[in-house]
A and B are shown apart, each in its own frame.
Chain A
Amino acid sequence: GQNIDQPTEMTATEGAIVQINCTYQTSGFNGLFWYQQHAGEAPTFLSYNVLDGLEEKGRFSSFLSRSKGYSYLLLKELQMKDSASYLCAARDSNYQLIWGAGTKLIIKP
């Protein structure tokens, strides 16, 4: 079956760096997405990886290893507003998105 695994919750300190991991098993693969979702709001797009390697976008970076079925989202210089859930989603051979349950990130002062 198809599956996405990511930690349920993580805690980090303001100004620090945090890495949120995601492993996936899908029927075929057509890209890995990361979305940010604040409580009670809809998700917003953060990043997209389809090739192996690191994609950097400001304070956020996303890494993909297709051979390992693994991705991570790296958040640097954490700010309080980064407190949110981070959703990992993999797109399968039918271009269907398989969503992880999300990682709730708690930022402490």
Chain B
Amino acid sequence: GAVVSQHPSWVICKSGTSVKIECRSLDFQATTMFWYRQFPKQSLMLMATSNEGSKATYEQGVEKDKFLINHASLTLSTLTVTSAHPEDSSFYICSARDPAAGDTGELFFGEGSRLTVL
């Protein structure tokens, strides 16, 4: 199946700093990527839909200025957590659909990035 790669897998940062997480589709072009946040023992929470060449669509309650999303190419989307605080500590996961995968709409997920803000 299609491969989505996410980097870094783990990141620890000091409060007040910014952290960038990259999501790449390695063997297909993804016009749309999705960013999720997941707290322990909880479901995936969609944060935003990243659209190549245009602004991301944020879900209600997600701060656009806090979580900056850039989708500059068909294979790369980035999520930047700005001025991170301990409450931003979480597991962040990206996903994308491979257009060649047919109508199932199967999502291919990156490995996830665990952010810890001290």
Contact = CB atoms under 8 A, between A and B. Distances in A.
Q: Which 10 pairs show the lowest CB-CB distances between chains A and B?
A: A42-B109, A101-B43, A48-B104, A42-B112, A99-B43, A99-B44, A45-B106, A42-B93, A43-B109, A42-B111
A97 interface: yes
6 contacts: A35-B107, A42-B95, A48-B106, A99-B44, A99-B46, A102-B41
A41 B109 CA distance: 10
A102 B109 contact: no
A22 interface: no
Interface of A: 4, 30-31, 33, 35, 40-45, 48, 87, 91, 95-97, 99-102, 104
Interface residues of B, number: 21
A96 B107 CA distance: 12
Contacts of A40: 91, 112, 114
A102 B43 contact: yes
B106 A87 contact: no
Nearest to B112: A42
A38 B11 CA distance: 20
Interface string B87-118: 00001010100000000111111111010000
Contacts of B108: 45
B84 to A, nearest CB: 20
Most buried by B among A42, A95, A96, A99: A42
B61 interface: no
Most buried by B among A35, A99, A100, A101: A99
